[in-house]
Amino acid sequence: MIEEKCKLENQLCFRLYTASRLITQAYHPLLSEHGLTYPQYLVLLVLWEKDAQPVNDIAKRLLLETNTVTPLLKRMEAEGIVTRSQGKKDARQVIVKLTKKGRDLQKKLTNVPETVGSAVLCESVIPETAPGLFGMLDDIINQLKR
């Protein structure tokens, strides 16, 4: 007989994985009509906050390795969303900038956070409880980064 702690329904990781997968699915129709994937949208969020950033800084903000972000940025450059160029101070550094198309996407996607946010709302997650949920998830992320 299986121990309680080993049952699927008692695994925090399964709940987090499933929630992440389903939230990403909720983004899909909103982003795909603009030819974007969820990871590309995350890069755009970072660049909309502050344009012209080194690849390393973008990767750090997304909690990813640069070798994961670089192919993503290459695809975005091929699609005309960003440009990549050598840094002026350090030629080894690659600076990523939004193109006009990348900046225009910000206006086109302004409804995405609210649309997905509304899809997530339920009995235990309401606008008033969301900051607490963010705090709990941030605690988990910070613990696992150690």
pTM of the prediction?
0.91
Does 52 have pLDDT greater than 90? yes
Tell which phi-psi region holds residue 63, choosing left (phi > 0), alpha (psi between -120 and 50) or beta. left
Give 78-118 pLDDT, tens digit per residue.
999 999 999 888 878 999 999 999 999 999 999 999 999 99
Identify the band that residue 2 occupies on the pLDDT scale cut at 50, 70 and 90. confident
Contact 71, 65 (CB under 8 A): no
Contact 105, 44 (CB under 8 A): yes
Mean pLDDT of 26-47: 97
Q: Which domains does the chain have, with CATH numbers?
A: 8-113 (1.10.10.10)
- From 111, 110, 120, 105, select the one nearest 26 (Cα to Cα): 120
Q: How many helices (H) and strands (E) does the chain have?
A: 7, 3
Residue bearing the bigger pLDDT, 122 or 51: 51
| pLDDT attached to residue 49 | 98
Identify the band that residue 133 occupies on the pLDDT scale cut at 50, 70 and 90. very high
Residues 63, 66: Cα–Cα separation, whole Å = 10
Round the average pLDDT of the chain to a whole number and report it: 95
Residues 42, 113: Cα–Cα separation, whole Å = 12
Burial 98-110 (b: 16+ CB within 10 A, else e): beeebeebeeebe
Identify the band that residue 20 occupies on the pLDDT scale cut at 50, 70 and 90. very high
> Most distant CA pair in the chain: distance in Å?
64
Return the sign of the alpha-carbon dihedral for residues 75, 38, 133, 17: negative
